[in-house]
Amino acid sequence: MILKSIMATTNVDRHGDKLTKEVLKRMIEQTMSNRAIPITGQHDRTIPPLGKIIEARIELLDDGEHAIITEGEIFNNRKEIVLADGSKVIEINSTGDSRPFAFHGCDRGEELSIGIDYRNIDSINDIKSLYTAILGYDVEIFNLKRKEFIPLSELLIIFPSLLFAYLAGKITKNVLDRIASDLSNTIIKYYDLSKRLIVEWIKKSKPTGEPKRIVFIMKGNPTIEMVATTNDVDMIICALSSNNLKEIIRRVSDIEKSLNIDKIQFILSDNGEWEFNYILTKKGSVIGTREAISRRDEIIKLVQDGELTGMSIGFTSNIKKSKKK
């Protein structure tokens, strides 16, 4: 199924933002690059991609403004496959576009990166408290900037590939012996900063009275994404223990025996266990549990029935820096 839609325009949007035609051109370049922009369900990253953008162009509107018109393919091809551990999952893919997906982490440098949406923050004082929590660290901060009135509260913490390499045992013993002390201090700082940010985010972000979503992205080959939707800070920190992360990497290694993984996502369960949700492959396929694909299919049906006004696309924007003092 091909879905045509307006991705962005140079009109002032409901948030007061106005894009220039030059920005639209850069968005086109990103959209048609070697990584495909996913079509997602209302910016909910726990729902596997519905499809991908396969074409984008700029058109002149009747009011003299410009718009990016996109054509997105909603995946219909599907088959059941069996993973190395014997579990049955569903694979869906494009009829002709094998580009891998763009996702948070694939475009970031080797610094610790933090992604937030400023619409989740009420006041300048709350923003200052977040910046205070990261003083003394080299951190890259970027704005998620999702186009919803008050989007789901979501904090992204992207760890450099060094953490993955260490936990996966990919650092040679000679190198590890030389950098052991510095590496240990670095990992301690990662955990300390993560806890500071989680505490501040749960206290200060909106919507209030709802569980907050904390997303940990461990860059590597493949990239591992871990999603926690809870206000229980202790449960989140416990789930991030070195032993738990090493167990996740072991599970990923087993799955990799039969699949070429680009990104794999786990969700934190109510009892504090990381559960597999879905995979993005290097050939642009989506492989998910039956439950994950079912949630995806429900979103598509709501759109087709007119009960949901649209889907969401895109994944990144503005970069700011917080320098070590």
Q: What residues form DSSP beta bridges with 80? A: 90
Q: Among candidates 185, 263, 184, 180, which has minimal Cα distance to 217? A: 263
User: Which pTM does this prediction carry?
Assistant: 0.86
- Burial of residue 308 (CB within 10 Å: 0-12, 13-18, 19+) is middle
The CA distance from 296 to 299, in Å, is 5
Query: For residues 7 and 13, what is the distance between their CA atoms, to the nearest angstrom?
Result: 12
E strand residue ranges, the chain: 2-9, 38-40, 51-60, 66-74, 77-82, 88-93, 112-116, 139-143, 154-159, 213-218, 223-229, 261-268, 274-281, 286-288, 312-313, 319-322
Q: 214 exposed, middle or buried (CB, 10 Å; 0-12, 13-18, 19+)?
A: buried
Q: Could you tell me what percentage of the chain is helix, strand and coil, using 3-state DSSP and rounding each to the nearest 5?
A: 30, 30, 40
Q: How far is CA 225 from CA 45, 186, 255, in A?
A: 10, 20, 15
b/e map 165-176, b = 16+ CB within 10 Å: bbbbeebeeeee
- Reading the block at residue 238, the tokens are 């416990």
Contact 211/232 with Cβ under 8 angstroms? no
How do the pLDDT tens digits run along the chain, 325 residues long? 888 888 889 998 776 778 899 999 998 988 888 999 999 877 789 999 999 999 999 999 999 999 999 999 999 999 999 988 889 999 999 999 999 999 876 666 667 888 888 788 877 677 777 777 776 677 778 877 665 555 688 999 988 887 777 777 766 556 556 656 666 777 777 888 888 889 989 988 888 888 999 999 988 889 999 999 999 999 999 998 888 988 999 999 999 988 999 999 999 999 999 999 999 999 999 999 999 999 999 998 888 877 766 566 654 433 233 333 3
| DSSP at 212 | P
3-class DSSP string for 124-177: HHHHHHHHHHCCCCCEEEEECCCCCCCCCCEEEEEECHHHHHHHCCCCCHHHHH
